[in-house]
Amino acid sequence: MAEAGSFAERVKQQADIVRVVGEYVRLRKSGQNFSGLCPFHSEKTPSFNVHPVKQIYHCFGCGVGGDVFKFVMEMDKISFPEAIRAVAEKCGIAVPRPRERTPEERQENQQRTSLVELHKEAAAFFVQQLNGTPEGRAAKAYLLDRGLDSEAMARFGIGFAPSGGEALLRAMKQKYPEKVLEASGLFSRDQNGRFYDRFRRRVMFPIANDSGKVVAFGGRALGDDLPKYLNSPETPIYSKSNILYHLDRAKEALRRDDCAVLVEGYMDAIAVARAGISNVVASCGTSLTEPQVKLLNRFTRKIIVNYDPDTAGQAATERSLTILLEQGAEVKVLALPGGKDPDSFIKAEGAAAYTKLLKEAPPYVDYLISRARKMDMTTAEGKLRAVNFLLPYVQRVPDRILRSEWATRIAQQLRIEEPVLRESMRKAANERRSEVKARPELAGRAGKPAERRLVQILIESEDFRSRLAQEIRAEELHKGLEVERILTVLVESCESGARPDAAALAMALEDRDRRLLFEIAFESAAPSTWEEAESCLTVLRRRLVEEELAAVQRQIESQAAAAGAMGEMRKLLERKQELRRRLESPPQ
Ligand SMILES: [Zn+2]
CA of 22 to the centre of ligand 1 (A): 15
Round to whole Å and give the CA distance between 65 and 50: 9
3 state SS for 38-63? CCCCCCCCCCEEEECCCCEEEECCCC
**Banded pLDDT at 414 (limits 50, 70, 90):** confident
Residues 339 and 374 in one domain: no
Phi, psi dihedral angles at 303 (to 5 degrees): -130, 130
Q: Quick one: pLDDT band at residue 322, thresholds 50, 70, 90?
A: confident
* Residue 533 in domain: no
The highest-confidence range among 279-283, 307-311, 545-549, by mean pLDDT, is 279-283
pLDDT digits (tens, 9 = 90+) for 170-225: 999 999 999 999 999 999 998 888 999 999 999 999 999 887 899 999 999 987 77
Please say if the pLDDT value at position 442 is more than 60: no
CATH of the domain at 20: 3.90.580.10
Whether 113 and 229 share a structural domain: yes
Residues 286 and 206 in one domain: no
Average pLDDT over residues 516-541: 82
Look at residue 5 and tell me whether its pLDDT is greater than 80.
no
Looking up residue 273, the CATH number of its domain turns out to be 3.40.1360.10
Task: Indicate if the pLDDT at residue 132 is higher than 50.
Answer: yes
CATH code where residue 165 lies: 3.90.980.10
Please choose, from the candidates 198, 184, 187, 185, the residue with its C-alpha nearest in 3D space to the C-alpha of residue 116. Answer: 184
Cα(41) to ligand 1 centroid in Å equals 5
What's the pLDDT at 431? 64
Task: Classify 31 in phi/psi space as left (phi over 0), alpha (psi -120 to 50) or beta.
Answer: left
Q: In sequence order, which ranges of 378-483 are alpha helices (DSSP H)?
A: 380-396, 400-414, 418-436, 449-460, 465-475
Could you tell me the CA-to-CA distances from 89 to 1, 52, 68, 77, 412 in Å, in that order?
19, 20, 13, 17, 59
Distance CA 246, CA 278 (A): 9
| Ligand 1 ion: nearby residues, β-carbon < 5 Å | 38, 40-41, 59, 61-62
Taking the centre of ligand 1 as the mean of its atom positions, its distance from the CA of residue 367, in whole angstroms, is: 28
97 lies in a domain? no
Q: What is the Å distance from ligand 1's center to 567 Cα?
A: 59
pTM of the model: 0.60
Task: Give distance in angstroms: CA of 47 to centre of ligand 1.
Answer: 7
- Compute the distance between CA of residue 279 and CA of residue 273 in angstroms, rounded to an integer: 7
Mean pLDDT, residues 571-580: 87
CA of 162 to the centre of ligand 1 (A): 49
Q: What is the pLDDT of residue 444?
A: 36
Residue 377 Cα to ligand 1 middle (Å): 42
- Is the pLDDT reported for residue 291 higher than 90? no
Same domain, 137 and 149: yes
Determine how β-strand 280-282 pairs with β-strand 330-333. Answer: unpaired
- Reported as a pLDDT band with limits 50, 70 and 90, residue 324 is confident
Candidate ranges 35-44, 151-160, 298-307; pick with highest mean pLDDT = 151-160
Element (H, E) at 188: strand 187-189
The answer to whether residue 373 is domain-embedded is yes
Q: 221 and 289 share a domain?
A: no
pLDDT at 138 over 80: yes
Q: Are 379 and 429 found together in one domain? A: yes
CA distance 364 to 358: 13
Query: Is residue 13 situated within a structural domain?
Result: yes
Of 116, 38, 34, the residue nearest 74 (C-alpha)? 38
Identify which of 117-121, 490-494, 545-549, 555-559 has the greatest average pLDDT.
117-121
User: What is the pLDDT of the chain when averaged over all its residues?
Assistant: 84
**pLDDT tens column, 139-168:** 999 899 888 899 999 999 999 999 988 999
C-alpha span between 509 and 275 (Å, rounded): 41
| Whole-number pLDDT of residue 538 | 87
Last residue of a domain, one of 203, 238, 273: 238
Number of structural domains, the chain?
A: 6
Same domain, 228 and 118: yes
Distance (angstroms) between ligand 1 centre and the Cα of 67 equals 15
Interval between CA 48 and ligand 1 midpoint (Å): 6
For the segment 455-469, the average pLDDT, to the nearest whole number, is 85
Q: How far, in Å, from the CA of 329 to the mean position of ligand 1?
A: 13
pLDDT, tens digit, 9 for 90 and up, residues 532-544: 888 888 888 888 8
Pick from 361, 388, 415: which residue ends a domain?
A: 361
In this structure, the answer to whether residues 118 and 221 fall within a common structural domain is yes
Mean pLDDT of 13-31: 87
Task: Tell me the CA–centroid distance for residue 365 and ligand 1, in Å.
Answer: 24
Average pLDDT over residues 490-496: 82
Structural domain includes residue 546: yes
| 168 φ/ψ angles, rounded to the nearest 5 degrees | -65, -40
Q: How far is CA 433 from CA 331, 394, 429, 437, in A?
A: 24, 14, 6, 5
Q: Which of 425-429, 441-445, 479-483 has the highest mean pLDDT?
A: 479-483
CA of 63 to the centre of ligand 1 (A): 6
- 83 CA → ligand 1 middle, Å: 20
| Same-domain pairing of 14 and 75 | yes
Domain of residue 460 covers 449-528
Whether the per-residue pLDDT at 566 is higher than 80: the answer is: no
Share of the chain above pLDDT 90, in %: 30
Q: Is pLDDT above 90 for 393? A: no
3-state secondary structure of 463: coil
- Say yes or no: 284 and 373 in one domain: no
Ligand 1 mean position to 62 CA, how many Å?
A: 4
In a domain? residue 521: yes
Same domain, yes or no: 136 and 224: yes
190 and 246 both lie in a single domain? no
Q: Are 90 and 82 in contact (CB under 8 A)?
A: no
Residue 100 lies in a domain: no
Domain boundary among 305, 336, 361: 361
Question: What pLDDT sits at residue 376?
Answer: 78
pLDDT at 524: 65
Residue 101 lies in a domain: no
Averaged over 433-455, what is the pLDDT? 55
